[in-house]
């Protein structure tokens, strides 16, 4: 293929991934983006020391991710609290990831690599990762994971000298360490590399030995990260082993469905009720295992591609399926952002399927149908992405979308109530803040926010009652103490 054509394809994938998110530049900070600025820690002279040596001081963070927070630090130096700059970096990384995926697919000699990368670039499940500033970790870890796979693939080429192979392996390990420092999901990278080698028929003794350091680094990081999580002590959902297996199985099929038909994306999905029987709990995972066994058995007839893509899909999702507890399970068992790299597998499956059909009908009048179908699908996905981007415009649009599809999401009531309170809509804020206080009776801040709304609405007695509940939950809650003093001494509402 001419070099100019190849360059144009890379540019087209990058442009698709970047330009489609231009509307998101007008958006602001969302939900836990506030943790970047809480207490002003990111602006302090010793911020880098905090990131690398005292990460427990980073509010709400339960992992050791110094690479992603170092990039946040650099961005803060450049644009402070201007959201557009942070969103721009997310867009650039997503565009770069599309091009890296195209490079990897070409390296693996995947048919119709360009359509597969285009489908990845415009897929609407990426909106959460690209348009939500704090989710830079998805994009950055994805960038370094793809770079790791590319570097490892170059190292494994037969024509490489021992010295050149060693240089590329060191490069791959460096990229892997950076991926781990961006997000813990990168720990599955060695498994993904092994699967790719098996698919290509290059899982030789030499390749297996080359993978050993990657597995060792992954094991060491897992120990460090788990110890950090225990030390921070952030809350997680208490579930039994059977429940976790059920959650993982259902999450796997949920993600498969979202990849192929992303028509009802939601920022915070409703949590499902656990199955009442052992058979019901094990069924989703058993079905996934059965499909994998069947595809493995058919590998000689249909090739290793289908089982490889399903294994990669499962392995990439593995840290987020719910087998291991993590804090976000308080709110939902699944999230679009966990599909960030995994969705490349269905994209490749669709593109390769279209390529196979094209080969079968290339001599007939239907030869243009596969390409036209892929082009149409790309446009449909792009339209869904553009439709979904405004959801992540600000906290109010985010929360309203959540509540329209998941009315029991308490955190959405909280975010919407506080947002309405901030713009002076006391009447609109009150029902949401009441719901938060009802669901979180031991949360002093929930009662305090409701007290503020009552006070602003001129309902002094109701405000004092809320403050009594706030101080019962936390007698030293400073904001509640200050507001009570003002209400008991002032002659007019604050």
Digit-coded pLDDT (tens) for 356-395: 999 898 878 788 999 999 999 999 999 999 999 999 999 9
In the structure, what pLDDT confidence band is assigned to residue 233 with cuts at 50, 70 and 90? Answer: low
Domain stops at, among 359, 392, 425: 392
- Is the pLDDT at 267 greater than 90? The verdict is yes
Among left, alpha and beta (phi > 0; psi -120 to 50; other), residue 348 is alpha
Decide which of 491 and 39 is more confident: 39
Q: Has residue 74 been placed in a domain?
A: yes
| 431 and 298, same domain (yes or no) | no
Number of neighbouring beta carbons within 10 Å of residue 417: 27
Give Cβ neighbours of residue 230 (< 8 Å, ≥ 6 apart): none
Residue 263 corresponds to which tokens in the numbers above?
Answer: 């028509």
Residue 341 corresponds to which tokens in the numbers above?
Answer: 């790299």
Domain stops at, among 392, 423, 448: 392
Average pLDDT over residues 187-212: 95
Q: Has residue 125 been placed in a domain?
A: yes
CA distances, 109 to each of 31, 286, 352, 474 (Å): 42, 32, 11, 61
| 105 and 207, same domain (yes or no) | yes
What digits encode the pLDDT tens for the residues 24-58? 999 999 998 988 888 888 888 899 998 998 887 77
Closest CA to 342 of 377, 318, 366, 378: 318
Q: Has residue 52 been placed in a domain?
A: yes
Q: Has residue 397 been placed in a domain?
A: no
CA distance 49 to 39: 16
Average pLDDT over residues 157-162: 76
| 367 and 457, same domain (yes or no) | no
| 84 and 215, same domain (yes or no) | yes
| 104 and 245, same domain (yes or no) | yes
Q: Has residue 402 been placed in a domain?
A: no
Q: Has residue 478 been placed in a domain?
A: yes
In the structure, what pLDDT confidence band is assigned to residue 225 with cuts at 50, 70 and 90? Answer: confident
| 373 and 415, same domain (yes or no) | no
| 319 and 464, same domain (yes or no) | no
User: Residue 59 is inside which H or E element, if any?
Assistant: none
Domain stops at, among 339, 366, 392: 392
Q: Give the burial string for 244-265 (b: 16+ CB within 10 Å, else e).
A: bbbbbbbbbebbbebbeebeeb
Q: Find where tokens 């007019």 sit.
A: 492
Average pLDDT over residues 233-239: 66
| 388 and 413, same domain (yes or no) | no
Closest CA to 195 of 178, 214, 180: 214
In the structure, what pLDDT confidence band is assigned to residue 410 with cuts at 50, 70 and 90? Answer: very high
Kindly report the CATH number assigned to the domain that includes residue 472: 1.25.40.10
For the chain, give the percent of residues with pLDDT over 70: 96
Average pLDDT over residues 216-228: 89
pLDDT of residue 402: 97
In the structure, what pLDDT confidence band is assigned to residue 491 with cuts at 50, 70 and 90? Answer: low
CA distance 144 to 125: 20
Average pLDDT over residues 431-444: 95
Contact, 135 vs 118, CB < 8 A? no
Closest CA to 479 of 493, 467, 492: 467
CA distance 336 to 322: 14
- Is the pLDDT at 316 greater than 90? The verdict is yes
pLDDT of residue 43: 86
433 lies in which domain range?
Answer: 409-489
Q: Has residue 302 been placed in a domain?
A: yes
| 218 and 251, same domain (yes or no) | yes
pLDDT of residue 61: 75
Domain count, the chain: 2
Q: Where are the alpha helices (DSSP H) in 41-161?
A: 47-53, 66-79, 83-107, 113-122, 127-131, 136-155
What phi, psi does 343 have (nearest 5°)? -65, -15
CA distance 186 to 215: 11
Which long-range contacts does 238-241 make (Cβ < 8 Å, 24+ apart)? 239/322, 239/325
| 462 and 329, same domain (yes or no) | no
pLDDT of residue 235: 60
Residue 25 corresponds to which tokens in the numbers above?
Answer: 């530049």
Average pLDDT over residues 307-335: 93
Q: Has residue 220 been placed in a domain?
A: yes
CA distance 390 to 67: 29
| 360 and 438, same domain (yes or no) | no
Q: Find where tokens 């007698």 sit.
A: 475
pLDDT of residue 346: 97
What digits encode the pLDDT tens for the residues 125-139? 999 999 999 999 999
Give Cβ neighbours of residue 169 (< 8 Å, ≥ 6 apart): 151, 152, 155, 210, 213
Q: Give the burial string for 19-43 (b: 16+ CB within 10 Å, else e).
A: ebbeebeebbbbbbbeebeeeebbe
CA distance 145 to 207: 18
Residue 289 corresponds to which tokens in the numbers above?
Answer: 């295992």
Average pLDDT over residues 317-344: 93
pLDDT of residue 236: 62
| 316 and 422, same domain (yes or no) | no
- Is the pLDDT at 478 greater than 80? The verdict is yes
């Amino acid at each position: 293929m001419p070099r100019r054509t190849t360059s144009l394809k890379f540019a087209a994938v990058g442009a698709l991934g970047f330009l489609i998110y231009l509307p998101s530049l007008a958006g602001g900070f969302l939900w836990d983006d506030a943790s970047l600025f809480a207490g002003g820690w990111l602006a302090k002279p010793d911020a880098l020391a905090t990131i690398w040596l005292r990460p427990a001081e980073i509010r709400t963070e339960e992992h050791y991710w110094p690479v992603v927070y170092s990039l946040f630090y650099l961005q803060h130096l450049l644009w402070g609290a201007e959201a557009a700059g942070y969103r721009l970096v997310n867009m650039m990384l997503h565009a770069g990831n599309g091009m890296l995926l195209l490079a990897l697919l070409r390296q693996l000699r995947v048919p119709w690599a360009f359509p597969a990368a285009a489908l990845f670039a415009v897929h609407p499940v990426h909106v959460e990762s690209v348009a939500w500033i704090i989710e830079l970790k998805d994009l950055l870890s994805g960038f370094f994971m793809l770079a790791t796979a590319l570097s490892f693939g170059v190292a494994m080429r037969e024509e490489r000298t021992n010295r050149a192979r060693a240089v590329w392996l060191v490069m791959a390990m460096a990229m892997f360490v950076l991926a781990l420092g961006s997000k813990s999901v990168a720990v599955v990278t060695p498994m993904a590399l092994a699967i790719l080698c098996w698919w290509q028929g290059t899982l030789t003794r030499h390749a297996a030995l080359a993978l050993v350091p990657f597995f060792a680094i992954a094991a060491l990081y897992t120990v460090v990260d788990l110890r950090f999580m225990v030390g921070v002590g952030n809350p997680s959902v208490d579930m039994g082993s059977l429940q976790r297996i059920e959650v993982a199985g259902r999450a796997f099929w949920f993600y498969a469905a979202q990849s192929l038909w992303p028509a009802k994306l939601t920022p915070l999905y409703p949590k499902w009720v656990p199955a009442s029987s052992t058979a019901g709990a094990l069924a989703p995972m058993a079905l996934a295992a059965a499909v994998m066994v069947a595809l493995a058995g058919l590998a000689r007839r249909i090739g290793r591609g289908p089982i490889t893509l399903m294994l990669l899909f499962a392995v990439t999702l593995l840290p987020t399926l719910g087998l291991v507890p993590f804090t976000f399970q308080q709110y939902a068992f699944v999230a679009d952002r966990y599909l960030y790299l995994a969705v490349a597998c269905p994209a490749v499956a669709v593109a390769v399927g279209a390529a196979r059909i094209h080969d079968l009908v290339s001599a007939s009048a239907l030869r243009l149908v596969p390409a036209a179908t892929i082009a149409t699908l790309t446009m449909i996905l792009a339209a869904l992405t553009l439709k979904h981007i405004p959801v992540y415009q600000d906290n109010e649009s985010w929360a309203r979308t959540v509540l329209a599809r998941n009315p029991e999401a308490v955190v959405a009531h909280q975010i919407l109530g506080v947002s309405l309170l901030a713009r002076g809509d006391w009447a609109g804020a009150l029902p949401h803040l009441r719901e938060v206080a009802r669901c979180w009776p031991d949360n002093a801040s929930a009662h305090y926010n409701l007290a503020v709304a009552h006070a602003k609405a001129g309902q002094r007695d109701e405000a004092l009652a809320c403050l009594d509940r706030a101080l019962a939950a936390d007698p030293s809650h400073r904001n509640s103490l200050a507001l009570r003093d003002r209400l008991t001494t002032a002659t007019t509402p604050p």
